[in-house]
Chain A
Amino acid sequence: MDNNVNTAAPVKEIKDSTGYIRPQDSSYGKAANAAAIVFFSVLTVAAFLPVLLVIMSSFASEQSIAEHGYRFIPHEFSIDAYKYLFRSGSTLPRAFLNSVIVTLTGTVLGLAVMCPCAYALSRKEFRHHRALMIFLLIPMLFSGGLVSTYMVNTQILHLKNTYWALILPGMCSTWYLMIMRNYFRTSVPDSLIEASKLEGATPLQTLWTIVLPICRPVVMTVAVFQIFAYWNSWYPALIYIDSNHNELYPLQYVLVNIDRTIQAITRDAAHISGMTVSDLPGTAMRMAMVVVTILPIILLFPFFQRFLRTGMTIGAVKE
């Protein structure tokens, strides 16, 4: 950070000689500010457009999609796609449940594993601090690659076709450990921890009763990042779950396999309602499944954004 001082120095001198600071919040003029607001509004809308197209298309009737294609304002509205999605078969509810199980287990387990370690790393009296840091940093530089990871996970750890294959590989990260350690170190006064020790608390008790309540923001931040990461993950399912174990598929992977899934649903639906396959809203259903998958994220996003910002900005501050 020192390098800023050099460039800033001459400016500072001039300010001192002038002797006053104009109460001005920004360097834009009024017109420029308005232009910037328009520009960023357009950009924001552009960022949303792709998602909007999917959401709107899921509410289009099958016929209007066939005739007019996917549109931002469907020619004819219909919620048939959702009706069939929920009425037919167990594929979708099951996948939704799998995603929830994997997300919750992974997040909780990951925090349970990482918090104590981050606490130990944050303590000055912890003697193996340096060695452990190196141990945790090496994997950031060098990894075994997909092939050996795959072989180890399937043949030594036997994770293939289990929930654990979806949970364990993404559970810990050096990145999260570092931001938790830094937060623990800077926001818990040493005197509190010493006092807790004097009362005879073990480090684990101190962590639970003193540190974690104070450091809830950083724990929540890691939790939110993990929740999104697990909810969005499909790669482990792609490589570790075979098609004959599709009862383990998370929602995202069902989408990867969407054509097969739609076939299954239409078969079930045709069975139940006696409709022929061509009557079913296949193209709209595709989009409805995407909406079901993305909805939790969009709904949770406003509540989580505070924590997301913390996580992202912690990353920006370089020590």
Chain B
Amino acid sequence: MEKEPRPEKKHASLSGANKKENRQLNLMTLPTVIWYALFCYLPLFGIFFAFKNFTPVPGDSLVENLFVNSEWVGLQNFSYLFRNPQSVSVITNTLIYNAVFLVTGIVIPVTLAILLSEVHQKKFQGFVQMSLVLPYFISWVIVGYCVYGFLSTDTGLFNSVIKYFGGDPVQWYQSPQYWRTILIVLGIWKSTGYTLIIYLCSITTIDRTLYESAALDGAGFFQRVRYITLPHLRPTIATLFILGIGSLLNSDFGLFYQVPMDSGALTEVTQTLDVYVYKSLMVNANFSYSAAAAFLQSFVGCILLVISNMVIRRLDRDSALL
């Protein structure tokens, strides 16, 4: 996240008071450390699931089941994953949606932030920011029902309008061809406000006199954006881009599971890795398989993050994340 200043040289001899204080500080971090150990580090050992054929014996403990009762299968789970046409389509879906969100997640908020920053009325500016960010704080479950209000076959607003103009009602939840667009629009609707505020905040730190002197010098609006605003936003854009690349195989479970109401007819376009992992675990109880998919997600994400960070660091040292 940030560059830590190197701590001062180790004190060769800590005084008694310092020692005591350090012990107390250590103690203060203990609850957090325990939480991380239990909820972040303990599950890391579950990586073994991905390389085992998990065959639990009822009554045995998890550790016994994982290490004694289940045999090593090497990369077999992964090769199944890549030979299964369904999981390949799931990975493709995930990549498509994330690629789109990566681009729209930069272009739309940056454009809106630049436009909004030029509005004179500061109160209006604040109002717009807060209104646009509200969707971010609404859960996907609720969004799902909002969408249902528009798309329900019998009572939805869209079909009422279509019928009013004499068209045939559409069975939205059975028509996969519309859902890529629907999900992308919703993803943008929910996240734009938040990123907009981040960019806008960065824009407000720009020295206004730069713009004034540029205007004086005859620079038009687009030139000012091109030569002042965008270069200033570069580090923020790079940060969000790197984070986006790092989660290229992750997806918002709520958007892809709850918003399409888990409709079977839509799975070919709505199912992403997170939904797939959830379903293979909870519905089909296929532990090793879904563990392999989950491992892939985490592993690839980590590698992509490091690589994209490396590339950005090459291009522009200050914009890199780590």
* B43 close to A313 (CB less than 8 A): no
* B4 close to A133 (CB less than 8 A): yes
* A239 close to B224 (CB less than 8 A): no
CB contacts (< 8 Å) of B298 on chain A: these are 142-145
Q: Mark B113-139, 1 if CB is under 8 A from A, else 0.
A: 001101111001001111111110111
* A7 close to B227 (CB less than 8 A): yes
Chain A CB count within 10 A is highest, among B141, B189, B197, B294, for B141
* A113 close to B134 (CB less than 8 A): no
Instruction: Tell me the residues in window 271-322 of chain B with beta carbons closer than 8 Å to chain A beta carbons.
Output: 274, 277-278, 281-282, 287, 290-291, 294-295, 297-299, 302, 305, 316, 318-319
Tell me what chain A mostly uses at the interface: helix, strand, loop, or mixed: helix
The bracket for how many chain B residues form the interface is 35 or more
CB contacts (< 8 Å) of A155 on chain B: these are 61-62
* A290 close to B145 (CB less than 8 A): yes
Query: Is A199 in the interface zone, CB < 8 Å from B?
Result: no
Instruction: Tell me the residues in window 267-315 of chain A with beta carbons closer than 8 Å to chain B beta carbons.
Output: 283, 286-287, 290, 293-294, 297-298, 301, 305, 308-309, 312-313, 315
Query: Is A31 in the interface zone, CB < 8 Å from B?
Result: no
Docked pose: A146 CA to B236 CA in angstroms: 30
Q: Which residue of A lies closest to B207 (CB)?
A: A8
CB contacts (< 8 Å) of A231 on chain B: these are 139
Give, as a whole number of angstroms, the nearest-CB distance from B171 to chain A: 15
Docked pose: A272 CA to B92 CA in angstroms: 52
* A145 close to B22 (CB less than 8 A): no
Docked pose: A139 CA to B8 CA in angstroms: 27
* A144 close to B43 (CB less than 8 A): yes
Query: Is B156 in the interface zone, CB < 8 Å from A?
Result: yes
Q: Among the listed stretches B25-33, B82-90, B172-180, which one makes contact with chain A, having 4 or more residues with CB under 8 Å of it?
A: B25-33
Query: Is A262 in the interface zone, CB < 8 Å from B?
Result: no
Docked pose: A233 CA to B139 CA in angstroms: 7
Query: Is B79 in the interface zone, CB < 8 Å from A?
Result: no
Chain A CB count within 10 A is highest, among B201, B224, B227, B305, for B201
Q: Mark B199-213, 1 if CB is under 8 A from A, else 0.
A: 101100011111111
Q: Which residue of B lies closest to A234 (CB)?
A: B141
Q: Which residue of B lies closest to A115 (CB)?
A: B28
Given A22-B216, A39-B115, A152-B46, verify A27-B189 contact (CB < 8 Å): no
16 residue pairs A–B, Cβ–Cβ below 8 Å: A11-B210, A12-B213, A18-B216, A24-B212, A53-B146, A53-B149, A69-B160, A112-B31, A126-B22, A128-B26, A145-B294, A148-B45, A148-B291, A168-B39, A255-B141, A290-B142
Which 8 pairs show the lowest CB-CB distances between chains A and B? A148-B46, A145-B294, A144-B43, A15-B213, A116-B28, A232-B139, A50-B146, A117-B32
